[in-house]
Amino acid sequence: MPRDDTMTDRRPLLRAMFDAAVAAAHPDRILGKYLPSPPKGRIICLAAGKAAGALAHAAERYYLSEGRIDPSLLSGLATTRHGHGMPTSRIEVVEAGHPVPDEAGLKATSRTLDLAATAREDDLVLVLLSGGGSANWIAPAEGITFAQKQAMNKSLLRSGAPIGEMNTVRKHLSRIKGGRLARAASPARILTLAISDVPHDDPATIASGPTVPDTTTLADAREIVARYGITADQAVTDALNDPRNESCKPGDAAFARAEFRIIARPQESLDAAIAIAKREGYEVLDLGADLEGEARDVAAAHAKIALKARADGKKLAILSGGELTVTVRGNGRGGPNQEYVLALASLFADTTRIRVLAGDTDGADGGAGSADDPTGALIDRRTFAKMHELKLDPKAYLDNNDATAFFAATGDLLHTGPTLTNVNDIRIILVDP
């Protein structure tokens, strides 16, 4: 193994940068300063997403630890991904399916809508959202079965559609998304505090916008289904042609007392990682927190930048966020971060002084919905040595969308477990002179 890679192990630095990005968006650190004083009536806390358990836990601590509210006036329900729960006393936490919804999410969403309907004018409905809320809050539109909604969700995930387009379809097949939760909670005051996991921090896209107006239409949803060649059950097709399933638009009375605030953004987490790179003497190329596109295509573009920097003798850190997609053609396992790194493993094979880490800040990159799914992957010279030793062909694994198996063999899967937040992906390429 070349001396430059054995003498300078960048893996601890890569991990420190990733961990800093996650910490910058953790509910324990960010939520308290956004929570309002108690209302005249009750606080009904309704939370969804991968950070929902941690958000509920932080909200309880804020209101109860210093006696800000009588405990009997605080209640609610938080629905989060399996393995992402937190202990609470007044706000119940339910673990449910993600990315594919399950029966637990279906029941919890029905209860969430029932709780919202109990709100009165003096109450505060505190809605705490994070990425994953779209799958956790599952309430099929009239005439659609749960199985049909699940099948559509699976088809969307495999289609390669970006998250915004997937949510456009989801919003028009739901009784809670697209502003409908706000309609259920009216006339109470509604305050939504959200951790953004979407490009450009669009409130209507985070958890499919359950408390904000939606400007997309049924026609938009139908066009997306057609463009990606998704075969839908007749009941789903009928629902997307039913005017009663149009989402709530700007000017709807449901939003008269509704406020929305973003409490953590992907760029802020990217900035935390960038600060560490700068302290280590790297020139930084910040490609932004809103990248979208096919993982392998984005990897190819980033590889060109890294290889040129290496040829020029630069000490460069290339960082990006956003949410990439994978069009599934094979039958392997993985996620967009692992696929991105696998594509780079093929392009960087035997290249010294370039190291890569990419991971999902929620702790799970693709996978089967388990709490121990991989977070992402990393590569350096050790990866290439193992690849040659085991005679692994990264392109063959890439063709089968089987990044998890490749990195399991080389020992380069990144595992963090649930991080209890979600601000999309963090991708880091370090080029050393």
pLDDT, one tens digit per residue, over 1-10 is: 344 444 579 9
Pairing of strands 316-320, 425-431: antiparallel
Q: So where are the chain's domains?
A: 3-23+267-431, 27-265
pLDDT in tens, 327-355: 888 899 999 999 999 999 999 988 999 99
Each residue's pLDDT tens digit, 190-200: 999 999 998 88
How do strand 124-129 and strand 43-48 relate by DSSP bridges?
Answer: parallel
pLDDT tens string 94-118:
999 988 889 999 999 999 999 999 9
CATH class, range 3-23+267-431: alpha beta
Q: What is the pLDDT of residues 213-248, one digit of tens each?
A: 999 999 999 999 999 999 999 999 999 999 999 999
* Contact predicate 169/239, CB 8 Å: no
Write phi, then psi, for 355 (nearest 5 degrees): -125, 150
Burial grade of 312 (CB within 10 A; 0-12, 13-18, 19 or more): exposed
Are 3-23+267-431 and 27-265 the same fold in CATH? no
Which amino acid makes up residue 384? Answer: F
Using a pLDDT cut of 90, give the percent of the chain over it.
Answer: 88
Contact 319, 284 (CB under 8 A): yes
Mean pLDDT for 29-39 is 97
The pLDDT assigned to 328 comes to 87
Q: Alpha-carbon distance 158 to 25, whole Å?
A: 28
Mean pLDDT, all residues of the chain: 94
Judge: domain 27-265, CATH 3.40.50.10180.
Answer: yes
Work out the pLDDT band at 41, boundaries 50, 70, 90.
very high
Banded pLDDT at 157 (limits 50, 70, 90): confident
* Mean of pLDDT values over 401-424: 97
pTM of the entire predicted model: 0.91
Fill in the amino acid letter for 106.
L
* Closest by CA position to 19, among listed 275, 322, 369: 275
